[in-house]
Amino acid sequence: MVANLIHHNSERRQLAMVKINCGAIPDNLLESELFGYERGAFTGAARTKKGLLELANGGTVFLDEIGELPLPMQSKLLTFLEDRRFKRVGGLNDIEVNVRVIAATNRDLRQSIARKEFREDLFYRLNVMQIAIPPLRERPEDILPLSNYFLAHFNRKFGKNIQGLDSQFEKELTTYSWKGNVRELRNVLERCALFCEGDVLDRAAFLEAPFPSSKPAREDMSRNTVAGSPDFGEEGVNLPKLLEGIERDYIERALQISGNNYSKAAELLGITRFTLRRKLEQQ
């Protein structure tokens, strides 16, 4: 949202704003997506294609999740930022573009630099002006204005006429921890707006139970639970299968909260993106 505000209040607002999620594009496609390619550059390249940087010429490029960019691409991005020129994949001629570059990350890039996961020279080249945005849980005063903004958006999108939020639902929204930040809030409001049948958005529209709270509820480990203690029954339990089910539920929830953004989901789960992909392939 901050990137949108910068673009729409600048002299570039009449031109394109191209958003690139560095964590969502497969590593082997990143170069051709950013810089484009020439006809015949590789198998399947039947025609020349402009890259996202070229399409944004004159406007703004928003590099979201810049911390997820692989090291080889970091080097190429640095070269582009220095010269404002690049070559398409398979091309010989330099292409010059004039774009404003905005980058965002939820990582501590200085720690990534210390771990040799992010180039220090690229960090300083990008860090001309820094805007630090605290996580949503640290600015609860923003939750209701954002909720009303999203509600108006989804009214238009779904043809609804929802007038506002139920007071109890407002309280639940403002006390939740929002580990997925604004994306998670948007996701919750979209789901609620979609299933709301009245003109006030309340807790009933949120079909999942229980509503996520700032203090995570204890998970039921078995259908047969008394006073929080699992009942093994006569035949015991299949612990590997039980744990597999719990893991699957958490992965599905994390992907839902993150809008299927693997990097965000992996962060919520406390695992790497590679581990998340491997677990999904095993399911």
d(CA 271, CA 178): 18
List pLDDT tens digits, range 205-247.
554 444 544 444 334 433 333 334 555 666 676 777 778 888 8
List pLDDT tens digits, range 99-157.
999 999 988 999 999 999 999 999 999 999 888 888 898 999 999 999 999 999 999 98
Domains and CATH numbers, the chain: 2-126 (3.40.50.300), 142-205 (1.10.8.60), 225-282 (1.10.10.60)
Comparing 87-91, 153-157, 249-253, the range with the smallest average pLDDT is: 249-253
Taking only Cα atoms into account, the Rg of the chain, rounded to an integer number of angstroms, comes to: 23
Comparing 56-65, 153-162, 241-250, the range with the smallest average pLDDT is: 241-250
| Nearest alpha carbon to residue 95 among 14, 34, 179 | 34
d(CA 246, CA 140): 30
From the CB of residue 167, how many other CB atoms can be counted at a distance below 10 Å? 9
Q: Is it the case that residue 23 has pLDDT exceeding 60?
A: yes
d(CA 269, CA 283): 16
The tokens describing 184, both together, are 């998670």
The tokens describing 263, both together, are 């990097």
User: Which residue pairs from 144-147 have beta carbons closer than 8 angstroms and sit at least 24 positions apart in sequence?
Assistant: 144/170, 144/173, 144/174, 146/182, 146/185, 147/173, 147/185, 147/189
Single-letter amino acid code for the residue at 217: A
DSSP 204-265: GG--SSSPP-SSPPPPP--SSEETTEE--TTT---HHHHHHHHHHHHHHHHHHHTTS-HHHH
List pLDDT tens digits, range 184-205.
899 889 888 877 888 998 866 5
Q: What SS3 class is residue 17?
A: strand
* pTM attached to this predicted model: 0.65
Average pLDDT taken over every residue of the chain: 84
